[in-house]
Amino acid sequence: LSIIKNLKSKFASNKIELKLFKTTQKKLNLWNRLRFPPIELMGFKADLLHCPDYLIPPNLNKIIVLTIHDLAFIRFPQFNFDWFIKKYTKEVKRNARLAKKIVADSKSTKDDIIKFFKIDPQKIEVIYLASDTIFKKLPETRIDRNILKKYGIDKKYILSVGTIEPRKNYPTLIKAFNYIKHNNNDFNYRLVIVGRTGWKSETTYRERELSPYKDDILFIGRVSDKDLVQIYNQAEIFVYPSLFEGFGLPPMEAMSCGLPVIASDSSSLKEVVG
Sign of CA dihedral 40, 46, 51, 52: negative
> Total domain count for the chain?
2
Q: For residue 133, is it within any domain?
A: no
SS3 category, 224: coil
Give the global pTM.
0.87
The string of pLDDT tens digits covering residues 102-116 is 999 999 999 999 999
Range of the domain at 15: 2-126
My answer on whether 235 and 265 are in the same domain is: yes
Q: For residue 34, is it within any domain?
A: yes
Under a CB-based contact definition with an 8 Å cutoff, are residues 82 and 88 in contact? no
Distance CA 102, CA 59 (A): 17
SS3 category, 164: strand
Does pLDDT of 197 surpass 70? yes
Q: For residue 217, is it within any domain?
A: yes
The string of pLDDT tens digits covering residues 27-47 is 777 887 888 888 888 888 888
AA letter at 209: E
Q: With 0-12 CB in 10 A as exposed, 13-18 as middle and 19+ as buried, what is 76?
A: middle
Q: For residue 135, is it within any domain?
A: no
My answer on whether 111 and 150 are in the same domain is: no
Q: For residue 176, is it within any domain?
A: yes
DSSP code of 248? -
Closest-CA residue to 217 (of 228, 226, 206, 225): 206
